[in-house]
């Protein structure tokens, strides 16, 4: 929790090259999983196959300023054809996760393009298991975004994002959304608060047949380290028209050498009508085989008020590069 959460949220776009002579860093990973969902067949699949390139370079005409860039894709390694397992190839989607450029200097960080929605920092305290145990309401990335992050001062950093996609005619709005927030850390305590509004006409690359209600989202998160034990909490509140959803989650991580034990409990409340509340909890054990590879095993339970609970067991072997 001592690391800058903003720096983590923008996923290393400002990281210097690993090799001094190189101006780009290739990175990615493959995460394979074996999952057993109650009353369903076992599923052996690739959860994610990601690849990206990022880097930075000094600007000779601007002292102390670096230009940054990042492009990141996710590949669908499973495909949508149920008979694909009988063939030699899979035809799946290629998803553009990030594509941005930026400037970094004593003034802070400026970044333009498809990038992380920085309110996700508040979710990071409890979003620590393989399977989604809670109804997290913050979409991880946004397109058409301009971001500014202040320098970190005495453990405090603030940010603002503007979103403008030009996808729909709107005589009243020139900007489709914004996000503001801050992160603060002192000793072993960390706090993140973020608020965002997205207009109903924000497309983000998705076609729409008409405008929907504007969406507001508040995300608050906190974490505390006690030796090898890390505690986390997240609260979210989303409003869209007459719909109002709330979520809170509590999490704990305990490190034992190369192993980690994790646990999460959360509840979701839907005030938009119907009995749609849900409780979710899970535990997970991890073991690092090295800096870039490891194994995980998780047991999670989704227990909605309007349906029977679902037990899920997931095992994973992953390699990053």
List the chain domain ranges.
5-320
Domain 5-320 in CATH: superfamily? Porin (2.40.160.10)
What's the pLDDT band for 19 if we cut at 50, 70, 90? very low
pLDDT for the residue 82: 55
Model confidence at 301, pLDDT cuts 50, 70, 90, reads very high
Token pair listed for 38: 């109650």
**Is 54 in contact with 27 (CB distance < 8 Å)?**
yes
Average pLDDT of the segment spanning 302-320: 91
Separation of alpha carbons 274 and 19, rounded Å: 56
What are the CA-CA distances from residue 18 to residues 8, 21, 104, 187, 318 (Å)?
17, 9, 18, 29, 22
How high is the pLDDT of residue 138?
A: 80
Dihedral class, residue 140 (left if φ above 0, else alpha if ψ from -120 to 50, else beta): alpha
- pTM of the model as a whole: 0.82
When mean pLDDT is compared over 8-17, 122-131, 196-205, the highest value belongs to 122-131
Assess whether pLDDT exceeds 90 at residue 93: no
The model's pLDDT over 118-135, given as tens digits with 9 standing for 90+, comes to 999 999 999 999 876 667
Query: What's the confidence (pLDDT) of residue 10?
Result: 45
CB-based contacts of 311, cutoff 8 Å, min separation 6: 37, 38, 299, 300, 301
What are the angstrom distances between the C-alpha of 120 and each of 63, 115, 229? Answer: 32, 11, 22
Q: Any idea which of 33-42, 90-99, 169-178, 222-231 has the lowest mean pLDDT? A: 169-178
pLDDT at 243: 82
> Taking a C-beta distance cutoff of 8 angstroms, is the pair 50, 72 a contact?
yes
Share of the chain above pLDDT 90, in %: 60
Q: What is the pLDDT of residue 80?
A: 62
Q: Which of 89-103, 153-167, 210-224 has the weakest average pLDDT?
A: 210-224
Residues 14, 191: contact at Cβ < 8 Å? no
pLDDT beyond 80 at 187? yes
Enter the tokens of residue 84.
């694909």
Compute the average pLDDT of residues 25-52.
Answer: 94
Q: How many residues does the chain have?
A: 321
Lowest mean pLDDT of 101-115, 192-206, 235-249, name the range.
192-206
| Least confidently predicted of 94-98, 149-153, 169-173, 244-248 | 169-173
Q: For residue range 239-293, what is the model confidence (pLDDT) as tens digits?
A: 887 788 999 999 999 999 999 999 999 999 887 655 578 899 999 999 999 999 9
Q: Residue 17 has what pLDDT? A: 37
């Amino acid at each position: 929790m001592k690391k800058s959460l903003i720096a983590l949220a923008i996923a290393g776009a400002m990281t210097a090259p690993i090799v001094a002579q190189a101006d780009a860093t290739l990175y990615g990973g493959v995460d394979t999983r074996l999952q057993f969902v109650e009353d369903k067949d076992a599923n052996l699949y690739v959860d994610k196959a990601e690849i990206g390139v990022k880097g930075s370079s000094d600007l000779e005409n601007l002292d102390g300023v670096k230009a940054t860039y990042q492009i990141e894709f996710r590949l669908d390694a499973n495909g949508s054809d149920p008979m694909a397992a009988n063939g030699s190839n899979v035809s799946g989607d290629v998803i553009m996760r990030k594509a941005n450029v930026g400037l970094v200097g004593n003034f802070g960080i400026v970044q333009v393009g498809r990038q992380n929605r920085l309110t996700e920092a508040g979710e990071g305290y409890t979003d620590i298991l393989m399977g989604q145990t809670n109804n997290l309401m913050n979409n991880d990335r946004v397109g058409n975004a301009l971001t500014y992050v202040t320098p970190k001062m005495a453990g405090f950093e603030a940010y603002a994002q503007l979103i403008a996609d030009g996808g729909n005619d709107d005589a009243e709005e020139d900007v489709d959304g914004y996000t503001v927030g801050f992160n603060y850390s002192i000793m072993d305590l960390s706090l993140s608060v973020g608020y965002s509004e997205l207009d109903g006409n924000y497309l983000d690359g998705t076609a729409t047949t008409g405008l929907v209600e504007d969406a507001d989202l508040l995300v608050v998160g906190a974490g505390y380290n006690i030796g090898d034990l890390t505690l986390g909490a997240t609260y979210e509140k989303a409003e869209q028209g007459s719909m109002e959803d709330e979520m809170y989650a509590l999490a704990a991580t305990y490190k034992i050498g190369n192993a980690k034990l994790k646990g999460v409990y959360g509840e979701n409340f839907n005030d938009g009508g119907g009995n749609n509340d849900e409780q979710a909890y899970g535990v997970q054990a991890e073991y690092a085989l090295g800096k870039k590879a490891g194994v995980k095993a998780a047991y999670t339970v989704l227990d909605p008020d309007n349906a029977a609970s679902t037990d899920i067991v997931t095992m994973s072997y992953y390699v990053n590069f």
